[in-house]
Amino acid sequence: MSDPVPSRGSLVLAIAVVAQPVLIAVNTLLHPPVELSGHGLLHGTAESPGTWSAVHLSAAVGALLLVPAAVGLRSLVGGRIQRLATAGVAVSVVAALALAVSFIAEASVLRLAATAPIDDDAAVALADAFVATPEFALIPVGFLAAVVSSLLLGAALLVARSVPRWLVLGHLVGVLTGIVAPPGTPIGPVAGVLLVGTGAVLAVRVRQGTASVEAAAARRDEPQPDPAGGLVR
């Protein structure tokens, strides 16, 4: 029997699994150290508006890729435990939307405050006003949802034993460390490197695993021989 040939769908999922942590790693490597206040965020933006926009764009796209990446990891889980992985995918949608909206809003408003022809007091007031908005409040909501999604998917993978335990635990450590690390600190890039490494291995597993699942489904759909002769479905 020939080896299963991966489909384009499995390739897309595998790319998402590795591209998502790569974009987050870019964010952690380039994000300037900032104080999480209106004045601190404004100061970080004013130092390099282009870098500020780039890191938030990469974070927003990385956030949106949480969903296809979660679907890819779910493809490695079978049986009843797949329900746990499905819950992880559902929570990843909440994380993706919350983080993407908040990152884009943060980049846009703070870049405007830092570059607009207004005095310093007005710029600080605009930044402080943004910190009090629902969009800024979505950041902890999105991070919490990302943690819950990762834990659900990790638990499903551990129970299913479809990938080595060290790989799942390493990926979870990278996710949790990257979320709790303050922006611009050395901890973030270390977590990013760990996420990229484990994500690359998981992407290979998704590419191979999805192809095997699809091949098994195709075999089930093939006409089966009838004991009396002929073929039956």
What is the pTM for the complete model shown?
0.78
What pLDDT does residue 154 have?
92
- State the residue for tokens 């990013």: 192
Give the tens place of pLDDT for each residue, 86-140: 999 999 999 999 999 998 888 877 777 777 776 777 777 777 777 778 888 898 8
CA-to-CA distance for 37 and 110, rounded, in angstroms?
12
96 exposure class (CB count in 10 Å sphere: 0-12, 13-18, 19+): buried
CA-to-CA distance for 140 and 179, rounded, in angstroms?
10
User: Residues in the chain with pLDDT < 50?
Assistant: 1-5, 211-221, 232
Domain boundaries, the chain: 8-220
What pLDDT does residue 99 have?
93
